[in-house]
Homo-oligomer: A and B are copies of this chain.
Amino acid sequence: MDWTLAQRAHKMNPSVIREILKVTERPGIISLAGGLPSPKTFPVEVFAEACAKVLRDDGRAALQYAASEGLPALREQVAAMLPWPVDPAQILITTGSQQGLDLVAKVLIDPGSRVLVETPTYLGALQAFTPMEPLIEGVASDDEGPVLQDLRHALGVADDPADAPPAPDRRRLLRLDLDPGHDFPRFMYLLPNFQNPTGRSMSEARRAALSAEAQRLGLPIVEDNPYGDLWFDNPPPAPLTARHPQGCVYLGSFSKVLAPGLRLGFVVAPAALYPKLLQAKQAADLHTPSFNQRVVAEVLKNGFLERHVPTIRALYRAQRDAMLASLDHEMQGLGVSWNRPDGGMFLWVRLPEGMSAIELLPRAVDKGVAFVPGAAFYADHADLRTLRLSFVTATAEQIQAGVAALAQAVREQQDAAR
C-alpha cells in the first residue's frame, strides 16, 4: 500500500536527541534530563475533592460537549490571575500550552515564513512550528535575553535607531520590494521567564528595549510563560505582552503550578487574531476537556494557588541550591561553567572547549546519570558544549549523586581525549 505523505510530514522527524535519551530511561539512572515537575507538588487530595464536587454538583454538564473558547468561569479566573488588564473574551483555553503553539503556527506560518527564536530555545516550540514549514532563525542571546543588535540584523534594519525612520514607515520601507508577508518575520518566539532550556530570564532593561524595538518595527511577539510563577526570591519583570497587548500572543499553562497530566493551558490573543485561533482550536479538538476545566476552576476557587505555589517555589529553590552546591563542589578544576537561575526548573551548563555534550552522554549514562545535550534546543548553529540539567524531578540526594557522576564522566572524557 502506497501512502503519499504531505511535504510537511517529511520534515517531522524524531529528534536524534530523543532517540539518545531513550537509553537514559532504564531503571537506576538518575535523570537530570526530564522536564517533569516534581510529582510531590501535585495536590492530589485537592483534585480528588474537586473531581467529586464537580461530578456531584453538575456531573452531566461536566461530561458534555462544551464551547471551543473554554469554560467561562475558568476564562475569568485566568484573566484575573494575569498581571495586566485582560478581558476574559481574549482568553482561549487550550489542551496544554503546547496546543497554543500549534494553533499559533497554523494561523501565522506559511511554508517559508521566517520565524525568529532565542538561542537556544524551547524544543517543543520548534516541534510545533516545524509542521507548518517555517524558516526558523536563532537570534543571538546572552544572559539577559536576545541581543538587540542581532535582532536588528535579522530584520535588516540599521543598528542605531536614530538612523531609521519610525514604524510603520520603516516596516513598509523594509517590505516594499519583498514578496509580501514572506520576508519580514511572522513573529519572534520568546520565553522570557526561567527559560527552557537555559533557566535564564530576560532583564527588565532588555524587555523594555526589545518591546520598544518590536513596536517600532512592527514585529509580532509570541510570549510563552509556563515557568513565570516559579520565582524563588522576586517575581520576574512584567511580561512583554503587558507592554503591548495588541502586538503579542501570550501562552500560559497550569502544568507547572498544578499538574501537567490535566493538559490545561491558555492563550491570550489580541482581537486581530482571536477569531482565527478559535477556528483553528475548534478544528483541532473541538474543545479542551470540559471536565478538566471544571475541576481546575473548582481547585482555583478561594485563592488555592496563592497558598500552593509558594510550596513549589520553596521545594524547587532548595533543589536548585542543592544542585549549585554540588556543581561548585564536584566540578572544581574541570573548566565547566554554569548559570544560577532565579527560578524555574532548569540550569544550563557549558563544558570546556573541545568537549561535546552529545559525546559525553553515553559515558554519563554509564556512570548512572542523564542530561539533555544542549544541541537539541538550537534552531541553527548549535553550541555542542552545552547541556541542560533539571533540578526539580530528582530529589536533593539524587541531584548530589547525579552531579558527582556527571563530574566523573567529564573527568574521564578529558582523560580519554589526552
Contacts and interface: CB of A to CB of B under 8 A. Distances in A.
Interface of A: 1-9, 12-14, 35-37, 39-40, 42, 44, 47-48, 51-52, 55-56, 59-66, 94-96, 98-99, 102, 106-110, 113, 124, 127-128, 130-132, 168, 171, 180-181, 184, 186, 218, 220, 244, 246-247, 255, 259-263, 270, 272-273, 275-276, 279-280, 282-292
A255 B63 CA distance: 9
B285 A261 contact: no
Nearest to A111: B111
Given A4-B186, A287-B263, A276 B9 contact: yes
Given A14-B279, A108-B3, A285-B102, A44 B51 contact: no
Nearest to A10: B276
A285 B96 contact: yes
Contacts of A99: 284-285
Taking each of A4, A62, A113, A288, which has the highest tally of chain B beta carbons within 10 Å of its own beta carbon? A4
Query: Within the oligomer, what is the number of copies of this chain?
Result: 2
Given A98-B284, A261-B65, A48 B44 contact: no
B263 A286 contact: yes
A263 B287 CA distance: 8
Nearest to A7: B110
Contact of A131 (B13, B35, B246, B283): B283
Contact of A65 (B36, B40, B273): B36
A12 B280 contact: yes
Given A1-B247, A1-B270, A4-B108, A39 B63 contact: yes
Contact of A64 (B7, B48, B51, B261): B261
**8 nearest interchain CB pairs?**
A44-B59, A63-B259, A39-B60, A261-B290, A51-B51, A63-B261, A12-B279, A4-B181
B6 A113 contact: yes
Contact of A3 (B7, B113, B220): B220
Contacts of A280: 9, 12, 131
Contact of A284 (B39, B51, B102, B186): B102
A12 B242 CA distance: 28
24 contacts: A1-B220, A1-B270, A4-B180, A6-B107, A9-B108, A36-B64, A36-B65, A39-B60, A39-B61, A42-B64, A47-B55, A48-B52, A51-B51, A63-B260, A65-B255, A65-B260, A65-B261, A95-B263, A98-B283, A98-B285, A124-B283, A127-B279, A262-B291, A263-B285
Contacts of A285: 94-96, 98-99, 102, 263, 285
A28 B36 CA distance: 48
A288 B132 CA distance: 21
Given A47-B63, A284-B284, A107 B275 contact: no
B64 A260 contact: yes
A244 B59 CA distance: 40
A91 to B, nearest CB: 18
Nearest to A94: B285
A295 to B, nearest CB: 9
Contacts of A286: 96, 98, 124, 263
B106 A8 contact: yes
Nearest to A11: B279
Given A3-B270, A4-B180, A35-B65, 15 more contacts: A1-B246, A1-B247, A3-B220, A3-B272, A6-B106, A7-B110, A39-B63, A40-B60, A48-B59, A63-B262, A262-B289, A263-B286, A263-B288, A285-B285, A292-B292
